[in-house]
């Protein structure tokens, strides 16, 4: 009879020590409307988090294609969990680079983990494919010359004063002029000894 009593007490202690899952109500929108895998840091805000410190490792972020969209579901661990006020927290994460898509897709963000769950609420985010060059004009140049090269891209976000360009050894970038989020011009000089540009 004594061993059965000990088992009952142990089970009761485990139930007390195990963290309870709490339903989190996420805001409908993330801090950004559009992001890219491996580049965009996202923050979602929600209420109903349990009191106390929540380690990022305790929160799993789940990205699921919105209904009607076809794409992979991915999970990642939160990079930060910060308290706003009371039970309201911000959960930060980076869209995983492993998410490979070819067209922009609407995604739903939910939370999972040892202490949080969001079975009915989500935040929305559109995820774009990785940026890619669609045109380079001209495609080459001669050693010892200076020229202007125009670059066009898809799903990029070029910003004047922030976007930089590099063409490798022996090619000096003089200026970068952004025309739009998907187009820029680069003034460059190709060294006499460089054969990479010809």
Q: Domains of the chain, with CATH numbers?
A: 20-127 (2.60.40.10), 132-190 (no CATH)
Cα distances from 66 to residues 141, 146, 197, 198, in angstroms, run 46, 48, 45, 47
Q: Give the pLDDT band (50/70/90) at residue 21.
A: low
Instruction: Give yes or no for a contact between 168 and 144, defined as CB atoms under 8 angstroms apart.
Output: no
Strands, sheet with 88-94, edge to edge from the N-terminal-most edge strand: 25-26, 41-47, 88-94, 80-85
- Write the DSSP symbol of residue 129: P
pLDDT tens sequence across 65-79: 999 999 999 999 999
- Top-confidence residue, 120 or 182: 182
The percentage of the chain sitting over the pLDDT mark of 70, rounded to a whole number, equals: 85
List Cβ neighbours of 45 (8 Å cut-off, separation of 6 or more).
26, 27, 31, 84, 88, 89, 90, 91
Amino acid 157: pLDDT: 86
Q: Give the pLDDT band (50/70/90) at residue 100.
A: very high
Q: What phi and psi values does residue 100 have, to the nearest 5 degrees?
A: -110, 115
pLDDT tens sequence across 107-159: 999 998 887 766 668 999 999 998 889 999 999 899 999 999 999 999 988 99
């Amino acid at each position: 009879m004594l061993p059965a009593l000990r088992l009952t007490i142990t089970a009761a202690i485990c139930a007390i020590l195990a963290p309870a899952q709490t339903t989190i109500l996420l805001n409908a929108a993330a801090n950004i409307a559009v992001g890219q895998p491996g580049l965009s840091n996202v923050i979602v805000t929600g209420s109903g988090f349990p009191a106390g410190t929540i380690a990022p490792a305790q929160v799993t972020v789940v990205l699921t294609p919105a209904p009607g969209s076809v794409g992979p579901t991915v999970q990642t661990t939160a990079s930060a969990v910060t308290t706003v006020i009371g039970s309201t927290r911000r959960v930060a994460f980076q869209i995983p680079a492993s998410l490979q898509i070819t067209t922009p897709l609407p995604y739903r963000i939910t939370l999972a983990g040892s202490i949080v769950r969001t079975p009915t609420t989500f935040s929305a985010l559109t995820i774009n494919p990785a940026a890619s060059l669609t045109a380079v004009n001209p495609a080459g140049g001669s050693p010892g010359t200076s020229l202007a090269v125009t670059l066009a891209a898809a799903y990029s976000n070029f910003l004047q004063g922030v976007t930089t360009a590099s063409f490798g050894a022996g090619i000096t970038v003089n200026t970068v002029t952004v025309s739009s989020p998907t187009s820029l011009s680069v003034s460059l000089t190709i060294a006499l000894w460089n054969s990479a540009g010809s």
